[in-house]
Amino acid sequence: MTLRNMHFYAYHGAMPHEKVVGGDYRVTLQLEADLSAACVSDELDDTINYAGLYDLVKSEMETPSRLIEHVAVRIRTKIKEQYPAIDSLSVTVAKLHPPVNGMLEVAEITVTD
């Protein structure tokens, strides 16, 4: 299952003004889990609910961090706590147009277990 390109406006960054001005972020989740029961039952309780995943990511994005690495690990930790059926999980946090002395479209980090 992939949840690609969830967009958030958040206040992460090492620079003081980033905590005030904020910026655009994109989060992508790639996960593996045995979803065979849901394939047969057609029941939401038998799958990994992507709306629940989105809400969890949104909540973590609302908590400021200095580093996107920290944000990605927090998201991964919370997901693994709430969805123990997930066998593997990759979380990518991308900071769009980060403040650098030049033009940079995106800085992103991926954490995988």
35-77 tens-digit pLDDT:
999 999 999 999 999 999 999 999 999 999 999 999 999 999 9
The residues, any chain, with a CB within 8 Å of residue 98's CB and separated by 6 or more, are 13, 23, 104, 106, 107
44 lies in which domain range? 2-112
Ramachandran assignment for 97, one of left (phi > 0), alpha (psi -120 to 50 degrees), beta (any other)? left
- The catalytic residue positions are 95
Strands across the sheet with 106-112, in order? Answer: 2-10, 23-33, 86-96, 106-112
In the chain, pLDDT over 70 holds for what percent of residues?
Answer: 100
Provide the residue type at 66 as one letter: R
The CATH number of the domain holding residue 72 is: 3.30.1130.10
Distance from CA of residue 38 to its chain's centroid?
24
List pLDDT tens digits, range 5-29. 999 999 999 999 898 999 999 999 9
How many separate domains does the chain show?
A: 1
pLDDT of residue 105 exceeding 90, the answer is yes
What pLDDT, on a 0 to 100 scale, did the predictor assign at position 113?
Answer: 87
